[in-house]
Amino acid sequence: MSEVSDRLLVSLEGGVKRITFNNPARRNSVDFETMRRLTETIKESFEDETRVIVITGAGDSFCAGADLQAGLSGARDVTTDLREVINPGVLAMRSLPKPIIARVHGHAAGIGCNYALAADIIVASDQAFFSQAFIKIGLMPDGGGTYFLPRLVGYNKAFELMALGDPVPAQQAFEMGMLNRVVPAGELDATVDAMAERLASAPAIALAKIKAGLANGLQSDLASALEFEAAGQGECFRSADFIEGVAAFLQKRKAVFTGK
């Protein structure tokens, strides 16, 4: 594992890049330098050997939000920080043509919650909590919360969660539609590792087109979505992975995809 900074650990092995918030004494709360490093690490994943990303936290929490002891004050130009540091990272997470898994245990609050929501898959332990805690310190959500949450749970529930800021247990969050899976804490690593391995060995071009197609579909009408699918399917059809997939199906064996 390499240290991108002392508060963000990154490793890449077998196509799986693991990004770990590393401030366990403060439940992995993040300062702007950590958020900047996260953005850079996500952007690097466009070009390196990453096939899938797993984002998690060290110790007993995912990320408890911004580090309020890191020099944050009303005098800071937070609008510029958001525009230049946080927003590019969230946009990169969603535009990255590779899947991102949020492995959540303990607290995912504030920007930590919204980093999790920006992932493509969220797997949480039954000891996880999710909170739009911004209201408790006089702030509105950022990091894409006002975009992601109402699309998952609806306007009224999103307003309630943001206006009250109460922590939501993982099982309740799952029942609302915020998460993909909730598993016992002792099964979290095995579940995430199996999913990451499966995605890392999947046809990369098809995964990229699925992710892009869903992003396009959120913003388009049916005719535009159908056209996007037609163009994307053409690229998949011409890929070596499609040829391998068909051959494996006909030969009744497991396909070995190369991402080409």
Residue 116 inside a domain? The answer is yes
Question: Is 0.75 surpassed by the pTM of this model?
Answer: yes
- The pLDDT assigned to 259 comes to 85
* Residue 258 covered by a domain: no
Residue 256 lies in a domain: no
**Distances from the Cα of 108 to the Cαs of 5, 56, 117, 158, 161, in angstroms?**
21, 10, 10, 16, 13
Share of the chain above pLDDT 90, in %: 92
User: Does the residue 193 lie in any domain?
Assistant: yes
Tell me, yes or no, whether 73 and 131 share the same domain.
yes
* Whether residues 74 and 190 fall in one domain: yes
Q: 196 and 213: one domain?
A: no
Indicate whether 194 and 91 sit together in one domain. yes
In a domain, 257, yes or no: no
- Position 260 pLDDT exceeds 90: no
Let me know: does 131 contact 107? Beta carbons within 8 Å.
Answer: yes
Within a domain: 260 = no
Render 125-162 in DSSP notation, one character per residue. Answer: ETT-EEE-GGGGGT----TTHHHHHHHHH-HHHHHHHH
Q: What percent of the chain has pLDDT over 70?
A: 96
81 and 190 in a single domain? The answer is yes
In a domain, residue 98? The reply is: yes
- 8 in the same domain as 129: yes
Which of 200, 226, 242 is where one domain is finished? Answer: 200
DSSP 8-state class, residue 216: H
Instruction: Give the C-alpha separation, 240 to 206, whole Å.
Output: 11
Secondary structure (3-state) at 202:
coil
pLDDT value at residue 123: 98
Q: Which of 157, 177, 200 is the last residue of a domain?
A: 200
In a domain, 44, yes or no: yes
pLDDT value of residue 99: 98
pLDDT tops 80 at residue 89? yes
* Structural domains in the chain (count): 2
Regarding whether 242 and 125 lie in a shared domain, the answer is no
Phi and psi torsions of 122, nearest 5°: -120, 120
Same domain, 6 and 46: yes
Same domain, 59 and 172: yes
Task: Give long-range contacts, CB 8 A cutoff, 24+ apart: 66-74.
Answer: 66/29, 66/30, 66/31, 66/110, 66/111, 67/23, 67/26, 67/29, 67/30, 67/31, 67/34, 68/29, 68/137, 69/26, 70/29, 70/31, 70/32, 71/31
Q: What CATH number should be reported for the domain holding residue 238?
A: 1.10.12
Lowest mean pLDDT among 1-10, 170-179, 183-192, 251-260: 1-10
Determine the average pLDDT of the residues in 28-50. Answer: 96
As a whole number, the mean pLDDT across the chain is 94
For residues 242 and 154, membership in a common domain is answered with no
Compute CA distances 207 → 49, 52, 96, 172, 183, whole Å. 15, 10, 11, 29, 25
69 and 183 in a single domain? The answer is: yes
Note whether 24 and 83 are same-domain residues: yes
Q: Is residue 4 predicted with pLDDT exceeding 80? A: no
Per the structure, the complete domain to which residue 130 belongs is given by 2-200
Q: What is the CATH number of the domain that holds 166?
A: 3.90.226.10
